[in-house]
Amino acid sequence: MSSKDGSKEEAGDWFDELDEELDEKTSEVFRDLGEKDARMAELNQQFIKDFWRIWIKFENKLNVHFSIRPDYSSFAHFDEFPEEWEFRNDFDFSSVNKIELMDKTQENDRTGDKLMLEYYKEDDTLKVGLFFEFSEGERYYKYSGWKRIYVRYSLFDAEFPVEEDEMDAFHDTLKEVVKNWYTSHLERDRDVIIDHIKSEYEKVEEYPE
């Protein structure tokens, strides 16, 4: 009888230790996830603010229309559209994994020119990339006919979370790209932005659509 009682006691001690370790691990994981979500939300608010300010500049000064993703109605509450606004409290900024500005101008074959920020995994490492995509025209495919060819250039790349000095580099790059994009519209010459992208950055992808 005593041996059976001893076995039960030992088994109970073993499980109690396991239970405590699992509770500690659970708390650690939830804490790490919470910190990651908080940092991602903070970064995304900055990125969305950057992109929205670009949207306003092109819209108000040049009457150039961009679409933005996520849609501005989802992340912003406006007192006076588009400049007087604040972030919505009911939007989950930590869930955003892609932010886009796409040119809707039909002249000079600009439709689809796109500035895009995207989170992606590389060898299990979460990274943040800034890209510019545009069409290089059409190509004929034997079995599917004519397709538009898009290329993607990498403008900025960093591991998550992006550090302060990396954010400075991000904004320096963003400034140069936006300046050339704006000038290309001002001068009605798409080559200004395309030549800048091709000469300064690396092409990382090409795909038909």
Q: Show pLDDT as tens, one digit a residue, over the chain (209 residues).
A: 444 555 555 555 877 787 777 777 766 655 665 688 888 999 999 999 999 999 999 999 999 999 999 999 999 999 999 999 999 999 999 999 999 999 999 888 888 899 999 999 999 899 999 999 999 888 877 788 888 899 999 999 999 989 999 999 999 999 999 999 999 999 999 999 999 999 999 999 999 88
Q: Is the pTM of this model over 0.75?
A: yes
- Bond prior to 208 in cis (omega within 30° of 0): no
Choose among 103, 51, 60, 50: nearest CA to 81: 60
3-state helix, strand, coil in the chain (%, to 5): 50, 30, 20
Q: What pLDDT shows up at residue 128?
A: 97
For the chain, give the number of residues: 209
How far CA 70 is from CA of 96, 97, 101, 178, in Å, comes to: 8, 10, 9, 19
d(CA 49, CA 33): 24
The answer to whether 13 and 37 are in contact (CB under 8 A) is no
Tell me, what amino acid is at 173?
T
Q: How would you classify the pairing of strands 66-69 and 98-103? A: antiparallel
Counting DSSP H helices and E strands in the chain, the numbers are 4, 8
- Torsion, CA 115, CA 101, CA 158, CA 199, rounded to 10: 10
Q: What pLDDT shows up at residue 30?
A: 58
Find the angle CA(63)-CA(66)-CA(68) to the nearest 5 degrees.
140
3-state secondary structure of 193: helix
